[in-house]
Chain A
Amino acid sequence: LHTAPLRSLPRLRPFHFLVATGGGYAGYRQYEKHKEKQLENSGVEIPPKIASDWEVSLYKSVPTRLLSRAWGRLNSVELPTWLRKPILSLYIWTFGVNMKEAAVEDLHHYRNLSEFFRRKLKPQARPICGSHSVISPSDGKILSFGQVKNCEVEQVKGITYSLESFLGPHACKENPKKKPASSSSSSSRDSFQKQLVTKDSNELYHCVIYLAPGDYHCFHSPTDWKVSHRRHFPGSLMSVNPGVTRWIKELFCHNERVVLTGFWKHGFFSLTAVGAQNVGSIRIYFDRDLHTNSPRYSKGSYNDFSFADTDAASREGVAMRKGEHLGEFNLG
């Protein structure tokens, strides 16, 4: 190296450096996957590999909100009619969209991808199950479900997040149905969960549904309930696909989300819409004041809005029927 004339040295260009490091990291990850596969085949249960703090911080440092807004703006540009079919067909083919269910099948009808992303379905495409009290509010994939224990909600198997971080501090004023918080609760987490549940004989349950890019992205009321409160948490827009959900603990507490809380016939009920990369905007049809994915927000902040008109005791919130249109995710 010392003796060779400079010009014969292959000039270390940044591109070479990137390829070498990227290739090395990819190779290392492949080796890790191969090792995990071998362990799995030999019946060893492998705990999910969770991202370390520096990996989460590195990921959060990616300007996903800015990119998401830019993506949304790009997809709001009106396409010339002749370009609509090829672009939307590419999206349909890539993400396996079933256009037969769409209320409007003619692709020329959609002026851009944002409008296509907000497409409605034919009413008969999704019959509402009448015999069960809770239905799926959207299309998607079930990531996890079950009882909430010790104030921890399962994100995916083996990874949990804090219920209190996810919902934020109690918003509702003492509601008439609630019994006084038990003084015996051992820790604040316990009492947080106990204060949500209005009857001793009840438990707290959860269900996480992941919507893939090609899925119908409107969501509906999962049961008959009254929405009394909305809490909007501005936040990151990391991907929420199952692979990332298995990798980043408390992912749903980092991301932008809108928490609707209220009551159904058995007590407390909540639906939370969690935004994701490129799908940072969330609309709730009866909530005109909600503005998501704004350029500026202060970390850890949230905005509350109450629908319960404290004067009129009867109106404890917005009454929602099972299956009724509730809101939608938008690009941007």
Chain B
Amino acid sequence: STIVLIFEAPKDFNFYVKPGQKIRFGEALGSL
């Protein structure tokens, strides 16, 4: 299964992940 997030955010929104990284529910995805 897959979950896809698509959202609007200001230009300085940053992701704190890398492609291929394992992630767990509750961990940071991104922020301003």
Residues of A bordering B, CB below 8 Å: 121, 126-129, 131-146, 148, 153, 157, 163, 166-167, 196-199, 201-211, 216-220, 222-223, 240, 245, 252, 264, 266-276, 279, 323, 329
Contact = CB atoms under 8 A, between A and B. Distances in A.
A197 B8 contact: yes
Contact of A163 (B2, B6, B31): B6
Interface of B: 1-11, 13, 15-32
B8 A211 contact: no
B2 A240 contact: yes
A206 B3 contact: no
B25 A219 contact: yes
25 contacts: A126-B25, A129-B26, A131-B31, A133-B31, A134-B30, A135-B25, A136-B24, A136-B25, A140-B3, A141-B22, A142-B21, A144-B19, A145-B15, A145-B30, A166-B4, A166-B6, A204-B8, A206-B4, A219-B3, A266-B10, A267-B7, A270-B7, A271-B5, A323-B25, A329-B1
Q: Top 10 A-B pairs ranked by shortest CB distance?
A: A132-B28, A267-B8, A132-B31, A126-B26, A268-B8, A274-B2, A269-B7, A272-B4, A329-B1, A129-B28
Nearest to A329: B1
Contact of A137 (B5, B9, B11, B30): B5
